[in-house]
Amino acid sequence: DVKVTQSSRYLVKRTGEKVFLECVQDMDHENMFWYRQDPGLGLRLIYFSYDVKMKEKGDIPEGYSVSREKKERFSLILESASTNQTSMYLCASRPTGFRNYEQYFGPGTRLTVT
Amino acid sequence: AQSVTQLDSHVSVSEGTPVLLRCNYSSSYSPSLFWYVQHPNKGLQLLLKYTSAATLVKGINGFEAEFKKSETSFHLTKPSAHMSDAAEYFCVVISVVNTDKLIFGTGTRLQVFP
């Protein structure tokens, strides 16, 4: 069974703080993703990574950065948290392969920035 | 540009009655489509997927979806709702430009009444 874990289920941070959200997958997947989920907007892709030290911008990368130093771990960084970054953050992973499009999601981190 | 439209933001049914969650897609190419489910405070779980094989796709928990190219639809159905089906459901299309990119609908929240 694929398992994607996220370091925190709930997080409360203050405006201006640097925030780290951690994601770990145990299935040796090459590809990892960070999304944010907001009511009425579905999921929007922030960043993704094809391999260690590789990263690609998604649809809404502004205000975020990522780090992938190990294959199993993909970190999302909010350099200076703002209230409009209050959201649910979901991590996902996927193996490389022909027509292997399914992504496996973690349980999410609900971040509140005050 | 590709997109998916979930026609209902909320659907309410009684336990034991049929479920219909509607999804229309927009794509110039033969799309790959998913339905994901998200139970409260949980990550997303794949319900079923269409990748140009059989047009009627069976998924987990008794759900199925039919791909209709003439109607550009991929509606999700279940003959008899169960209380445990209460969740949010997302219709998803794979981007043809970048197969790492999932394009999400805005979600349909299903309520099941006893």
- pLDDT greater than 80 at residue A54: yes
CA distance A4 to A106: 5
Summarize pLDDT for A4-40 with one digit per residue, the tens: 999 889 999 999 999 999 999 998 999 999 999 998 8
Residue with tokens 């990892």: A32
Subunit contact B90:A4, Cβ cutoff 8 A: no
B18, B77 in Cβ contact below 8 A? yes
Say what the pLDDT of residue A98 is: 66
The residues of B whose Cβ lies within 8 A of any Cβ of A are 9, 32, 34, 36, 41-46, 49, 51, 90, 94, 99-102, 104-107
Neighbours of B58 (CB within 10 A): 10
DSSP 8-state secondary structure symbol assigned to residue B23: E
CA distance A19 to B45: 27
- pLDDT greater than 80 at residue B86: yes
Question: Which one of A50, A56, A107 has the shortest CB-CB distance to B43?
Answer: A107
Local confidence band at A2 (pLDDT 50, 70, 90 cut-offs): low
Subunit contact B43:A42, Cβ cutoff 8 A: no
- pLDDT greater than 70 at residue A41: yes
CA-nearest residue to B49 within chain A is A102
